[in-house]
Structure 1
Amino acid sequence: MIDGSKSSQIEFRDVTKKYGEFAAVRNLSLAVNEGEFVTILGPSGSGKTTTLMMLAGFEGPTTGDILIGGRSVANVPSYRRDQGIVFQSYALFPHLSVARNLSFPLEMRGVKSTERAQRVERMLERVHLRGYEDRLPSQLSGGQQQRIALARALIADPPVLLLDEPLGALDRNLREQMQGEIKGLHKEFGITTVCVTHDQEEALTLSDRIVVMERGTIEQIDSPEALYDRPATRFVANFLGEANFLEHELTRHAPTEPGTVSMIRPERIKIGAILSPRSPADEETHCAEGTVSEMVYAGPLRKYVVRVGDDKLTVRQHVATNQQAFQTGDAVALTWLRSDVRIVQL
């Protein structure tokens, strides 16, 4: 939820970035509130990284303007912008100790040595790496390097933090751990943060709002819950999680307009044995029968692909004690609430 009492810390005003005749970003307008965590999400080539590079000052817009704190920075080089940046590669100085890596931004700002030492000590305590002051980056694990990169970006108290695929180099378990770390640091420091990622789970976990981009333009901006539950377009529904698009007879009770399609999330569909006598459908519930064509066991979940006529529906079911499991070839009944069906633009 955006706090209406807070002003916009970052603004893109009708920004276009071209490389020759190719427009990597087109007519981008976006405002990020003070203290907000906004993630720009999209596939390769969507324009998300170009957008971040313009915000960081490594690229300039072809047309339009970018403001930080109400001041135009479209023509201000990166080193003159007061912001912290964390790259996927971390970009730590390999020949400098952890302490020197952290103190470097403070030296560039003319902070006195006594205060630098105090800030370094406090920051190492905050990221749980006290005692690592004299180690080189090569002597740290991937997660420890990530913590130092975050600490270095935050140590000078910049008003803006930029994250470029910050967890892309980590394995799954460490990624989940670092998501909690980033979320905690954002809450503690209250810093306006813009993150770029292609990882849907990361975006959903970290963000106050998510900006979904495709082909250089914004498809939708909303809270994680709203984006997942009420996607505006087929692309957003498909990109952010899994989606079933209902065709033919499965849509007869869900009226659509030209240029739209019905969609339901896999976890909203219930799967069970075909009962006799069958329970009739009602105004609130849709029932369909089909055959399991695939079952994948994934620990806490079972994922089924069920053929219903000419359609294939994906169903995700949380594993529970004494729960009936279905196998390939089993006849099954599917039910879902009509209220869980969403109409999205093609």
Structure 2
Amino acid sequence: MKAGPLPAQIEFRAVTKMYGRMSAVKDLSLTVRLGEFLTILGPSGSGKTTVLMMLAGFVAPTEGDIVIAGKSVSAVPSYRRDQGIVFQSYALFPHLTVRRNLEFPLEMRGVNGVERAKRVDRMLERVHLKDFGGRMPSQLSGGQQQRVALARALIGDPPFLLLDEPLSALDRNLREQMQSEVKSLHREFGITTISVTHDQEEALTLSDRIVVMRAGQIEQTDTPEALYDRPATRFVASFLGEANILQNTDFEIQADVAQPPGTLAMIRPERISVVMSGAPKRTDADQRHSVIGIVDDMIYAGPLRKYHVRVGSSLLVTREHAASGQRTFQRGEEVQLEWLRSDIRFVAA
């Protein structure tokens, strides 16, 4: 039988947070399911961090209620909420060794010394820091500090984990490694996780669902695949990856479905093929649309090539994987752009 939806563990019920006359979060209602990895994504000032701080108990909502496991926690202070938190700065105790950093939350929970030692040993083994227990945080790399911060948050077996842009201080390669580690830990522990980030790639990689916020409100909530492939608004389409908004074009927009009123046509760059002008028609040409343009720029990005192609008054961006023997088009060259009509999406303006 198909499994039903997981029960709600965390609920925001019409939550608003005001700072003077300015609303950081407006009438937010959101349900986080048990065991899921939910990412709150948005630009600076969208309210995403305020949502996390209210859930953690560091900030009180002005209106509405926050419910965890069926009980209101809006008036419960942070230190009385059973939760694990990883901050952007890691917030490790600089005067304590790695082992003592991990022991501290267990001491606060009254765990005896023998059990503490066992749990710390297991956790150090799990995060690949078995031989680092005696080191100070200053003696660790950024990635190692990140692992310690995650281990400290998880070692007390909290019912949920909060991540406040924990990977933003790492370089790209290390960030990608840590994304895999975070995903592995979530899979292993099965802990409900709420992450806040402005990094679209991180959100797409880690999340079961993504909440896109804008100006204190939820713009759209869905799975990573659905958000990327079927964005509801122009903002979501442009913020979550690149998007060609086909507005006021010099060519007719052809799609498999009629364009709803009040919407704009959109296509993702990787859905557009760049071929020689006058190239032979494909076998599925009746399902495609093609236009002629002039290459305005070609950007080489390792495994990818990006073309900026001017079609009349419109500038379209394409993205394709670079392959051996593949034709590279130069600036000023006439090319043909092709895409399936079924790849056109319509988004609210």
**What TM-score range do you get, normalising by the shorter chain?**
over 0.9
Alpha-carbon offset, residue 257 of structure 1: 3.5
In the alignment, is the contact (CA less than 8 A) between 1:290 and 1:308 conserved in 2? yes
**TM-score normalised per structure 1:** 0.97
Question: Residues 251, 106 of structure 1: CA spacing in aligned structure 2 closer, same or farther, 3 A cutoff?
Answer: farther
Query: Residue in 2 aligned with 1:301?
Result: 304
In the alignment, is the contact (CA less than 8 A) between 2:277 and 2:334 conserved in 1? yes
Query: Residue in 2 aligned with 1:212?
Result: 212
Give the residue type in structure 1 aligned to 2:337: L
5+ residue gaps in structure 2?
none
Query: Residue in 2 aligned with 1:22?
Result: 22
Alpha-carbon offset, residue 79 of structure 1: 0.4
Structure 2 distance, partners of 1:213, 1:41, is 6
The structure 1 residue matched to 2:322, chosen from 313, 319, 322, is 319
In the alignment, is the contact (CA less than 8 A) between 2:250 and 2:311 conserved in 1? no
SS of 2:39's partner is strand
In the alignment, is the contact (CA less than 8 A) between 1:94 and 1:137 conserved in 2? yes
Query: Residue in 1 aligned with 2:254?
Result: 253
Range with bigger deviation, 66-75 or 241-250: 241-250
SS of 1:245's partner is strand
Structure 1 distance, partners of 2:279, 2:136, is 69
SS of 2:30's partner is strand
Give the residue type in structure 2 aligned to 1:49: T
Deviations 1:271-313 (A, max 9, x none): 0101267779954210000000010001100000000001000
Alpha-carbon offset, residue 30 of structure 1: 0.4
In the alignment, is the contact (CA less than 8 A) between 1:66 and 1:74 conserved in 2? yes
Structure 2 distance, partners of 1:126, 1:98, is 14
Give the residue type in structure 1 aligned to 2:253: R
Question: Residues 180, 252 of structure 1: CA spacing in aligned structure 2 closer, same or farther, 3 A cutoff?
Answer: closer
Give the residue type in structure 2 aligned to 1:313: L
Pairing 1:114-153 to 2, within 5 Å after superposition: 114-153=114-153
Query: Residue in 2 aligned with 1:71?
Result: 71
**TM-score normalised per structure 2:** 0.96
SS of 2:15's partner is strand
SS of 2:152's partner is helix
Structure 1 distance, partners of 2:88, 2:252, is 43
Pairing 1:71-90 to 2, within 5 Å after superposition: 71-90=71-90
Alpha-carbon offset, residue 245 of structure 1: 0.8
Query: Residue in 1 aligned with 2:238?
Result: 238
Deviations 1:192-224 (A, max 9, x none): 000000000000000000000000000000000
In the alignment, is the contact (CA less than 8 A) between 1:10 and 1:31 conserved in 2? yes
SS of 1:94's partner is coil
RMSD: 1.5
Query: Residue in 2 aligned with 1:221?
Result: 221
Structure 1 distance, partners of 2:119, 2:197, is 30
Question: Residues 108, 278 of structure 1: CA spacing in aligned structure 2 closer, same or farther, 3 A cutoff?
Answer: closer
Structure 2 distance, partners of 1:197, 1:249, is 38
Query: Residue in 1 aligned with 2:11?
Result: 11
Query: Residue in 2 aligned with 1:262?
Result: 265
Structure 2 distance, partners of 1:54, 1:279, is 55
Structure 2 distance, partners of 1:211, 1:277, is 43
Structure 2 distance, partners of 1:230, 1:84, is 33
SS of 2:118's partner is helix
Range with bigger deviation, 4-13 or 78-87: 4-13
SS of 2:180's partner is helix
Give the residue type in structure 2 aligned to 1:337: L
Give the residue type in structure 2 aligned to 1:242: E
Query: Residue in 2 aligned with 1:329?
Result: 332
Share of identical aligned residues, percent? Answer: 68
Alpha-carbon offset, residue 242 of structure 1: 0.1
Question: Residues 32, 3 of structure 1: CA spacing in aligned structure 2 closer, same or farther, 3 A cutoff?
Answer: farther
SS of 2:52's partner is helix
Question: Residues 116, 308 of structure 1: CA spacing in aligned structure 2 closer, same or farther, 3 A cutoff?
Answer: same
Structure 2 distance, partners of 1:265, 1:235, is 14
Count of paired positions: 345
Structure 2 distance, partners of 1:97, 1:110, is 20
Structure 2 distance, partners of 1:156, 1:168, is 25
In the alignment, is the contact (CA less than 8 A) between 1:292 and 1:305 conserved in 2? yes
Deviations 1:102-135 (A, max 9, x none): 0000000000010000000000000000011111
In the alignment, is the contact (CA less than 8 A) between 1:281 and 1:287 conserved in 2? no
5+ residue gaps in structure 1?
none
